[in-house]
């Protein structure tokens, strides 16, 4: 079920009123679990079995880990959880990738082998919920968390519908305890959630879906366009993926708040970053911190020789790229970001910008503008690999930027079609800039205004969503 669909517009109020009509926490959890399975099954009910099996395995492993202090047994139990979760992920997401590359490698060395790819459907959200359940078993194994003895609460944590299919990837230490506490309706918490949902819908429907139209058109027919159009295509994708994914996160966090739950922040205005290290502290925070805590630090992190530091950085970024999809384009995207990040880490200035840019000021200053622009250009360049269908597509696109005509007269009509979305992008960037010191751009905007002005602002966003929304597009991160 899509957040920006009529189905969800009916589903959410129905679950919301039933949920708060029930005063008993156990019954509320049962309702959330049932609603979450309906939400997921709306896409394809057959894959509910994967979530249920993964839930049963990790619930059982958690209890078994709690009961034994034998190190060998504990490692064996953790291995079971890892093999089951990564096994599902590996089969559904990476089977054909490894098979195709295996066959290609043998063909390259002159040995023809015959192997058939499988027509595998990638279950929506599998990359997200497998990482979420893995964090549970790893934390129980490490002794950071007691195992859950309440199956309904645990199953609700694994399948919580606001963040089930595209995150944020929650930690069990943060979200699971919320299912075991009584929840009282908080008007201010809920209205804050509604504001975040509104801003998330604006990002998705107005920014991402409109940008998608031009990004898809230009990327899919890149040989027909001039350099200027190819650069515009990359810029449109840059804002499409941000509006799409951060918009989803805003709607997820806001929806969770309607039910009294607090989800972790996933984006913190990444396109205002002053260097790549800051960008990665602000982009997809739940995944970045997952890899930091469960892969980077166990590998040694930034400790040890320069060789070990370089190795660890490349591993973390390449694995992160591979997590996004079974394609060499994602691996190159990850490696490119590692190359961006390494110089900063090696000279020790990767934690220079921990504050908010130009905090307390409207204007960023020339130095900050320059840093933001340089970081933004590097990011846009890397997004070309992320968006391309293949490496040859990416390199052909880049070649077109540097070799095609700067602009073609036949593109004037296309530019005219872009003017409304370019105007909306300027407006969007201004609102994001003004709200960058908050959790999301309109969190506190207008709270001190007279009510009629504040509500006029909210209704203006709703009108813009209805009248300027692009054609409905599936969320990009569903495919990951």
What is the set of active-site residues?
A: 324
**Torsion on CA atoms 448, 449, 451, 455, rounded to nearest 10:** -110
What does each C-alpha distance from 106 to 115, 186, 265 come to in angstroms?
Answer: 11, 62, 45
Q: Which two tokens mark 54? A: 């993964």
**Residue partners of 284: CB distance under 8 A and separation at least 6:** 167, 245, 266, 267
Identify the DSSP state of 273: -
* H-only helix segments in 90-208: 95-108, 126-142, 151-159, 172-175, 187-201
CA atoms within 13 A on the CB side of 160: 31
Which of 431, 386, 360 is CA-nearest to residue 284? 386
Check the CA dihedral 50-51-57-60 and report its sign.
negative
8 A C-beta contact, residue 480 and residue 167:
no
Q: Tell me, what DSSP letter sits at residue 446? A: T
CA dihedral 31, 158, 245, 97 (to 10 degrees): -130
DSSP letters of 198-234? HHHHIIIIIIIHHHHHHHHHHHHTGGGS-HHHHHHHH
Q: Do the Cβ atoms of 193 and 256 come closer than 8 Å?
A: yes
Over the Cα atoms of the chain, what is R_g?
A: 23
Residue 414 backbone dihedrals phi, psi, to 5 degrees:
-70, -40
Compute the half-sphere exposure of residue 295: CA atoms within 13 Å on the CB side of its CA.
Answer: 19
Q: Residues in the chain, how many?
A: 480
Report the alpha-carbon distance of residue 325 to residue 417 in Å, rounded: 32
**Backbone dihedral region for residue 84 (phi beyond 0: left; psi -120 to 50: alpha; all else: beta):** alpha
Name the nearest CA neighbour of 248 among 473, 19, 10.
473
Closest CA to 313 of 265, 272, 280: 280
Quick check: helix, strand or coil at residue 186?
coil
């Amino acid at each position: 079920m899509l957040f920006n669909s009529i189905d969800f517009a009916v589903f959410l109020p129905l679950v919301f009123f039933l949920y708060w009509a029930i005063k008993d926490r156990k019954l509320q959890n049962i309702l959330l679990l049932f609603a979450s399975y309906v939400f997921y099954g709306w896409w394809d009910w057959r894959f509910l079995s994967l979530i249920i099996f993964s839930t049963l395995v990790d619930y059982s492993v958690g209890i078994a880990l709690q009961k034994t202090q034998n190190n060998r047994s504990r490692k064996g139990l953790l291995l079971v959880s890892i093999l089951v979760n990564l096994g599902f992920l590996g089969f559904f997401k990476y089977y054909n990738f490894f098979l195709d590359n295996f066959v290609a490698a043998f063909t390259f060395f002159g040995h023809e082998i015959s192997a058939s790819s499988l027509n595998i459907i990638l279950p929506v959200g599998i990359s997200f919920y497998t990482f979420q359940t893995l964090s549970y078993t790893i934390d129980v194994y490490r002794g950071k968390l007691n195992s859950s003895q309440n199956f309904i609460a645990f199953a609700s944590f694994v399948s919580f519908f606001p963040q089930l299919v595209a995150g944020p990837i929650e930690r069990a230490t943060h979200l699971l305890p919320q299912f075991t506490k009584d929840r009282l309706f908080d008007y201010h918490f809920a209205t804050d959630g509604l504001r975040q949902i509104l801003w998330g819908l604006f990002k998705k429907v107005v920014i991402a879906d409109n940008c998608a139209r031009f990004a898809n058109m230009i990327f899919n027919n890149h040989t027909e366009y001039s350099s200027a159009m190819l650069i515009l295509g990359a810029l449109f994708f840059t804002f499409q993926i941000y509006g799409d994914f951060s918009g989803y996160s805003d709607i997820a966090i806001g929806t969770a708040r309607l039910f009294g739950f607090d989800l972790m922040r996933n984006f913190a205005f990444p396109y205002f970053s002053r260097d790549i290290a800051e960008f990665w502290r602000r982009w997809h925070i739940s995944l970045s911190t997952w890899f930091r805590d469960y892969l980077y630090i166990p590998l040694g992190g930034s400790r040890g020789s320069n060789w070990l530091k370089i190795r660890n950085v490349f591993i973390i970024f390449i694995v992160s790229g591979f997590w996004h999809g079974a394609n060499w384009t994602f691996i190159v995207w990850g490696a490119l970001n590692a190359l961006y990040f390494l110089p900063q880490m090696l000279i020790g200035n990767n934690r220079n910008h921990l504050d908010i840019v130009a905090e307390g000021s409207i204007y960023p200053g020339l130095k900050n503008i320059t840093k933001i622009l340089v970081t933004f250009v590097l990011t846009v360049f890397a997004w070309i690999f992320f968006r391309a269908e293949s490496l040859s597509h990416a390199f052909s696109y880049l070649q077109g930027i540097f070799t095609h005509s700067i602009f073609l007269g036949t593109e004037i009509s296309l530019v005219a079609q872009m003017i409304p979305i370019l105007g909306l992008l300027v407006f969007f960037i201004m609102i994001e800039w003004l709200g960058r010191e908050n959790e999301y751009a309109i969190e506190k905007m207008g709270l001190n205004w007279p009510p009629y002005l504040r509500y006029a602002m909210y209704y203006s966003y709703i009108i813009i969503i209805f009248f300027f929304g692009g054609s409905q597009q599936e969320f990009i991160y569903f495919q990951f």
